[in-house]
Amino acid sequence: MMPSENSFVQLGENEQVEIPKEDVKLFEKLSTDRRAKLAMGTTEDYLRMLEKMKELEKKGEIIVHHVEEDYKPQVVKTLSNREKKIPTEELWQHKSCGQCGHIPGYISALYWIMSELSIPFVDDTNQTSCTAWNYYGSGTSNSVALSAVFLRNMHVAWEKNAYPLIHCGTSYGDYKECRFLVVMSEDIRLKVRSILNKIGRDIVIPEELVHYSEWLHVVRERIAERRKLDLSQVKAAVHPACHTYKLMAEDYTYDEKILDGARPAPTSSIILALGAKLVDYSTWYDCCGFGFRHILTEREISRSFAYFRKIRPVVKETGADVLLTHDTGCVTTLDKSQIVALAHGYKETVPVISDSQFAALAMGAHPFKVCQLQWHLADWKPLLSKIGIDWQNAEKEYKEYIEAIKKGMKPSFIRSAPRKLQPRVNVSFAG
Amino acid sequence: MESAFSMSISKKVSRMLQRLNKDGWHYGGLPGLQWEAENARNADRELIQEIAKELREDVRFEEFYHACINCGNCTSKCPPFRLVDFEPRIVVQKVMHSKDEPELLYQMMDQYIWSCFQCYSCWEVCPAHNNPGGLVAILKEIAVKHGLNSAKKALEPYSKIVYKIMTTGTQITPDMHTTIALFKDWGPHKAELAKNIRAERAAVPVETMAGVMDKSWRVDEETMKELMFIEKEAGVFDAVEKTLKDVTDMVRDTAKEAGVE
């Protein structure tokens, strides 16, 4: 019998295990299965909550906003192998306060992709953020307030007859936590209902909470069909956002065909679908260093963590051309934290953008008018050159465009395709 | 006659003995937190009891805390642990033993918990499915509610964010980027962006965002009113008052102007 070829699996910063090459995938799969099993209590609780939600709906205590056929759902698997329906059309955009405030290309790229794919959506001004910054960051909210804010937004989406698509990883995580509390705690439910009733609303809970990266995951082939640039030479690394897959871990998308189901599928899947090279690094599990309060008032901690635990390993281990992520705080921290390190003489740097911006660029979106790369700090010019975008010319066009805006010209807004569903009217509640 | 030296030793020993629990475990021996022990000893006993009671009565407590086997998986994945004196394992251990010794909680709330990044890496890897990050979130809420000094110190530098979220439901708005002052470490590129921020913002091709400087997107008046009503009814205004008095006054004024009674 021929001795099998061995491979090394990185376990920690300086720790490797040597195992036969054919066992590498199995080893990583087993590690994940073990992780899922270890967290079984949490997973079981979560599945029980979904059952309880059905019971409450049957009793008429709550309305469940189902992922109906009108939303053209696609089915994915979650960590526990549960089937989760991801709506693809008629989406109510639950915008992210951090993204919209200072990395607007995140959203404009997402809307542009939807517009290119003729997908109807609602971009509402009757929306607040989840306000969970004041929960995770500062402790200046509470379960009842957060749950009521969550349900207020979900009620608006239901009234508009559009399915909520949550842009921010933290809102997604917070809403999963709030949904759990509202369903599993009668006390919270009663308190929240009483508040909502006073503003003419009631408890409407989405059947599935859906993050936009899950939407990108299920429409990736349609996006790939419209790819205009060759990405085959691009090496892309992924930073999966903690609040998407660690907070209420059961609910996020995993796919046997993507990284053998050993890690979250979204974002990695769009890289693969677009034909770029997905590269891996040892600290993939680490958070970005954001820390909510820390990114604002204790920046040295955020900055050091982001640079030394994420940016340097990514560049040194993979030579990535770009680092993609799917959350507000992660893009901000990983992008902005490079400047001081570079000023201190460190050399490693990599552009950080969202998966939606990466996909839009591949589809031919304008790097500045649509993808708004001018808001990003780490140098994106080498990436654009590598994928064949004449950024000098694009920058010239954009400067002329900005001058015209200064003189009063309106930008050409990205519009939704015409909606097929009508808003719900004269709604009455059984609750 | 006893010397001053031996008196000081005997005081130390008696203090250490006081810190032994019934199982003979000396908590001061755990890494971290010793420097906060003095504050806990001097704190109001009633407040200490009240904090422990509030934690255990919180609806999330049963979900977030089960039992700790001290394995340290959580700490091994904790980002702040790599840089500062903070361990999720310590958080869960202190919570576990706070039933008998509630001052352990107070000790932690005096600054220690504010190092947590709330990334929940600890939760995902805990074999007993404890949620140390979640416990910290509850403790932060309690610290704010009681106006602990640690909460005041931690939150003062970003009271503007707290105000923005409470009144508009959005934060980190473009008007915070009009000068380089707040974000000096974002470098010269940021300074350039700050100079053109109004034109840049006006050029964003999303109608709800274009030109909006004081919020993340255009939020309806009625929406903000509903938000402030929710916060008022849920007791958020009252809870924040002891820690951020000025901010709460401003929020109350804004709510009143919006018609929230």
Is it the case that residue A32 has pLDDT exceeding 70?
Answer: no
Residue A398 lies in a domain: yes
User: Which residue of chain B has the CA closest to A191?
Assistant: B234
Average confidence (pLDDT) over A291-308: 90
Identity of the residue in B77, B120, B240 whose CB atom sits nearest the CB atom of A140: B240
DSSP state of A141: S
Question: Do A71 and A92 contact (CB within 8 A), yes or no?
Answer: no
Residues A13 and A117 in one domain: no
Residue A223 lies in a domain: no
Cβ neighbours of B82 in A, within 8 Å: 305, 309
On average, the pLDDT of chain A sits at: 91
Band (pLDDT 50/70/90 cuts) for residue A42 is: low
Report pLDDT for A431.
36
Structural domain count, chain A: 3
Identity of the residue in B82, B118, B141 whose CB atom sits nearest the CB atom of A142: B141
DSSP state of A425: -
Query: Tokens in use for B17?
Result: 């003995």
Strand order in the sheet with A163-166: A121-122, A91-94, A163-166
Between A299 and A17, whose confidence is greater? A299
Identity of the residue in B189, B190, B203 whose CB atom sits nearest the CB atom of A411: B203
**What is the distance between the alpha carbons of residues B90 and B103, in angstroms, rounded to a whole number?**
14
Contact at CB, B83 and A301, closer than 8 angstroms: yes
Q: DSSP string of chain B?
A: ---HHHHHHHHHHHHHHHTB-TT--BGGGSSS-HHHHHHHHHS-HHHHHHHHHHHHHSTTHHHH--------HHHHT-TGGGTSS--HHHHHHHHHHTTT-THHHHHHHTTGGGG-----HHHHH-TT---HHHHHHHHHHHHHHTT-HHHHHHHGGGHHHHHHHHHHS--S-GGGGSSSGGGGGGHHHHHHHHHTHHHHHHT-S-TTTTT--SSSS---HHHHHHHHHHHHHTTHHHHHHTT-HHHHHHHHHHHHHTT--
Instruction: CATH number of the domain at A299, please.
Output: 3.40.50.11810
Report pLDDT for B160.
87
Report pLDDT for B119.
93
Average confidence (pLDDT) over A405-431: 84
Per-residue burial over B50-85, b if 16 or more Cβ lie within 10 Å, else e, is: bbbebbbebbbbebbbeebeeeebbbebbbbbebee
Cβ neighbours of B171 in A, within 8 Å: 97-98, 101, 129, 133
Band (pLDDT 50/70/90 cuts) for residue B242 is: very high
Residue among A123, A129, A69, A113 at smallest CA distance from A91? A123
3-state secondary structure of A287: coil
Residue A221 lies in a domain: no
Interchain contact B126–A (C-beta under 8 A): yes
Residues A238 and A344 in one domain: yes
The minimum CA-CA distance between A91 and chain B, rounded to whole Å, is 16
User: Which residue of chain A has the CA closest to B63?
Assistant: A42
Highest-confidence segment of A45-49, B63-67, B147-151, B219-223: B219-223
Cβ neighbours of A180 in B, within 8 Å: 63
Interchain contact B61–A (C-beta under 8 A): no
Identity of the residue in B142, B174, B210 whose CB atom sits nearest the CB atom of A102: B174
Identity of the residue in A127, A195, A377 whose CB atom sits nearest the CB atom of B189: A377
3-state secondary structure of A171: helix
Report CA-CA distances (Å) from A260 to A116, A171, A263, A334.
31, 28, 8, 27
Report CA-CA distances (Å) from A106 to A79, A303, B26, B146, B164.
26, 22, 51, 39, 22
Report pLDDT for A37.
46
Cβ neighbours of B210 in A, within 8 Å: 410-411, 413
Residues A298 and A393 in one domain: yes
**Which residues of B, range 89-118, sit inside 8 Å of A by Cβ?**
114, 116-118
Interchain contact B166–A (C-beta under 8 A): yes
Residue with tokens 């504050």: B39
Residues A401 and A272 in one domain: yes
Identity of the residue in A123, A195, A286 whose CB atom sits nearest the CB atom of B206: A123
Question: Do A167 and A212 contact (CB within 8 A), yes or no?
Answer: yes
User: Which residue of chain A has the CA closest to B215?
Assistant: A101
Interchain contact B4–A (C-beta under 8 A): no
Residue among B84, B85, B95, B81 at smallest CA distance from B125? B81
Instruction: Report the DSSP beta bridge partners of residue A204.
Output: A63
User: Which residue of chain A has the CA closest to B205?
Assistant: A413
Residues A148 and A62 in one domain: yes
Residue A217 lies in a domain: no
Average confidence (pLDDT) over A311-330: 97
Instruction: Report the DSSP beta bridge partners of residue A238.
Output: A324
Band (pLDDT 50/70/90 cuts) for residue A40 is: very low
Residues A256 and A113 in one domain: no
Rg (CA), chain A: 22
As a residue count, chain B comes to 261
Contact at CB, B244 and A123, closer than 8 angstroms: no
Residues ≥6 apart with Cβ < 8 Å to A220? A269, A270, A273, A274, A359
**What is the distance between the alpha carbons of residues A2 and A144, in angstroms, rounded to a whole number?**
64
The minimum CA-CA distance between A405 and chain B, rounded to whole Å, is 6
Identity of the residue in A145, A152, A372 whose CB atom sits nearest the CB atom of B204: A372
Residues A104 and A183 in one domain: yes
Residue type, A245: Y
Residues A131 and A171 in one domain: yes
Report pLDDT for A152.
98
Q: Where are the beta strands (DSSP E) in A178-332?
A: 204-206, 235-239, 253-254, 277-279, 322-325
Report CA-CA distances (Å) from B119 to A107, A176, A291, A354.
23, 15, 7, 19
Residues A48 and A139 in one domain: yes
Q: Do β-strands A91-94 and A121-122 pair in parallel, antiparallel, or remain unpaired?
A: parallel
Residues A354 and A316 in one domain: yes
Residues A269 and A295 in one domain: yes
Residue type, B64: F
Mutate to test the interface with A, among B59, B118, B139, B222 (most CBs of A within 10 A): B118
Residues A143 and A287 in one domain: no
Is it the case that residue A248 has pLDDT exceeding 50?
Answer: yes
- Predicted TM-score (pTM) of this structure: 0.90
| Structure confidence by residue, pLDDT tens digits, B70-85 | 899 999 999 999 988 8
Report pLDDT for A54.
97
Cβ neighbours of A111 in B, within 8 Å: 206
| Structure confidence by residue, pLDDT tens digits, B161-207 | 899 999 999 988 888 887 766 778 888 888 888 888 999 999 999 99
Residue A296 lies in a domain: yes
Instruction: Report the DSSP beta bridge partners of residue A17.
Output: A9
The minimum CA-CA distance between B216 and chain A, rounded to whole Å, is 4
User: Which residue of chain A has the CA closest to B83?
Assistant: A301
Question: Do A214 and A76 contact (CB within 8 A), yes or no?
Answer: yes
User: Which residue of chain B has the CA closest to A196?
Assistant: B230
Report pLDDT for B129.
84
| Structure confidence by residue, pLDDT tens digits, A137-182 | 889 999 999 999 999 999 999 999 999 999 999 999 999 999 999 9
Residue extents of the structural domains in chain B: 24-146, 157-257
> Which of A93-97, A122-126, A298-302, A415-419 is least confident?
A298-302
User: Which residue of chain A has the CA closest to B169?
Assistant: A128
Residues ≥6 apart with Cβ < 8 Å to A248? A42, A46, A173, A176, A177, A180
Class of the CATH-defined domain B24-146:
mainly alpha
**What is the distance between the alpha carbons of residues B209 and A108, in angstroms, rounded to a whole number?**
10
**What is the distance between the alpha carbons of residues A391 and A380, in angstroms, rounded to a whole number?**
10
Identity of the residue in B173, B208, B234 whose CB atom sits nearest the CB atom of A144: B234
Band (pLDDT 50/70/90 cuts) for residue A5 is: confident
| Structure confidence by residue, pLDDT tens digits, B121-163 | 999 888 888 999 999 999 999 999 999 998 999 888 888 889 9
State the residue range of the domain holding A22: 1-30
DSSP state of A280: -
Query: Tokens in use for B183?
Result: 């974000």
Is it the case that residue A27 has pLDDT exceeding 90?
Answer: no
Residue A412 lies in a domain: no
Report pLDDT for B11.
75
Residue A120 lies in a domain: yes
Contact at CB, A140 and B129, closer than 8 angstroms: no
Query: Tokens in use for B218?
Result: 């255009």
Report pLDDT for A119.
98
Is it the case that residue A192 has pLDDT exceeding 80?
Answer: yes
Helix ranges restricted to H, A137-237: 143-159, 169-184, 186-198, 212-218, 220-225
Q: DSSP string of A47-110?
A: HHHHHHHHHHHHTTSSEEE---GGG--EEEEETT--EEEE--SSEEEE--HHHHHH-THHHHHH
Instruction: CATH number of the domain at A164, please.
Output: 1.20.1050.140
Phi and psi torsions of A84, nearest 5°:
-120, 135
Cβ neighbours of A38 in B, within 8 Å: 125-127, 129
Q: Within its chain, how far is the Cα of A130 from the centroid? A: 15
On average, the pLDDT of chain B sits at: 86
DSSP state of A374: G
The minimum CA-CA distance between B139 and chain A, rounded to whole Å, is 8
Is it the case that residue A4 has pLDDT exceeding 60?
Answer: no
Q: DSSP string of B185-244?
A: GGHHHHHHHHHTHHHHHHT-S-TTTTT--SSSS---HHHHHHHHHHHHHTTHHHHHHTT-
**What is the distance between the alpha carbons of residues A134 and B236, in angstroms, rounded to a whole number?**
10
Report pLDDT for A334.
97
Report pLDDT for B8.
75
Residue A391 lies in a domain: yes
**What is the distance between the alpha carbons of residues B224 and B221, in angstroms, rounded to a whole number?**
5
The minimum CA-CA distance between B198 and chain A, rounded to whole Å, is 9
Average confidence (pLDDT) over A114-122: 98
> Which of A354-368, B193-207, B215-229 is least confident?
B193-207
